[in-house]
Structure 1
Amino acid sequence: MFISRCTVIGSLIRRRLFVSASFRANHHFDTLKLAQRLEAAGFSQTQSEAVLKALDEVLAESIDSLATTLVRKEVLSRQAYQQKVDFTKLRSELLSLDKTDSTQIRNEHERIMANMDKLRTQLKDEIAKSQANVRLDLNLEKGRIREEAAVHELKIKETDTRIDSELANVKTQIEAVKFQVMQWLIGVCTGTFALVLAYIRLLT
Structure 2
Amino acid sequence: MTSLLSQPTTSRAGALLAMSIARPLPLLSTRLPYPLSNRSFSTSKPRKISHFDTYLFVEKLEKNGMTRKQAEGVMSVLAEVVEESIKGMESGLVSKAEQEKQRYTEKVDFARLKSELQLHEKNDLSLMKAENDRLMTDVEKLKQRLREEVTRTQAGVRLDLNLEKGRIRDESSQQELKIKEVDTRIESEIAGLRTQIEQAKFSILQYLVGVATGSGALLLAYMRMMVSFHVSFGDLE
| TM-score, with structure 2 as normaliser | 0.53
Range moving further from structure 2, 55-64 or 145-154: 55-64
The 5-angstrom pairing of residues 39-50 of structure 1 reads 39-40=62-63, 41-44=65-68, 46-50=69-73
Q: CA RMSD in A?
A: 4.6
Q: 1:34 aligns with which of 45, 57, 79?
A: 57
What is the match of residue 148 of structure 2? 125
Q: 1:60 aligns with which of 53, 60, 83?
A: 83
How far has the Cα of 1:62 moved from its partner? Answer: 3.1
Mapped pair 1:9 → 2:40: yes
How far has the Cα of 1:54 moved from its partner? Answer: 3.5
Q: 1:77 aligns with which of 83, 100, 112?
A: 100
Quick check: 2:39–2:53 contact (8 Å CA) kept in 1?
Answer: no
Mapped pair 1:144 → 2:167: yes
CA distance in 2, matches of 1:182, 1:76: 151
Question: What amino acid is the match of 1:59?
Answer: V
Structure 1: gaps (5+ residues): 18-26
Question: What amino acid is the match of 2:87?
Answer: D
Larger radius of gyration: 2
CA distance in 1, matches of 2:82, 2:200: 167
Percentage identity across paired residues of the two chains:
43
Report which of the two has the higher share of helix: 1
- Is the alpha carbon distance of 1:85 and 1:184 closer, same or farther for their aligned partners in structure 2, counting shifts above 3 Å? same
Quick check: 2:40–2:55 contact (8 Å CA) kept in 1?
Answer: no
- Is the alpha carbon distance of 1:6 and 1:160 closer, same or farther for their aligned partners in structure 2, counting shifts above 3 Å? same
| TM-score, with structure 1 as normaliser | 0.59
CA distance in 2, matches of 1:134, 1:43: 126
Structure 2: gaps (5+ residues): 1-30, 215-219, 229-237
- Is the alpha carbon distance of 1:188 and 1:70 closer, same or farther for their aligned partners in structure 2, counting shifts above 3 Å? closer
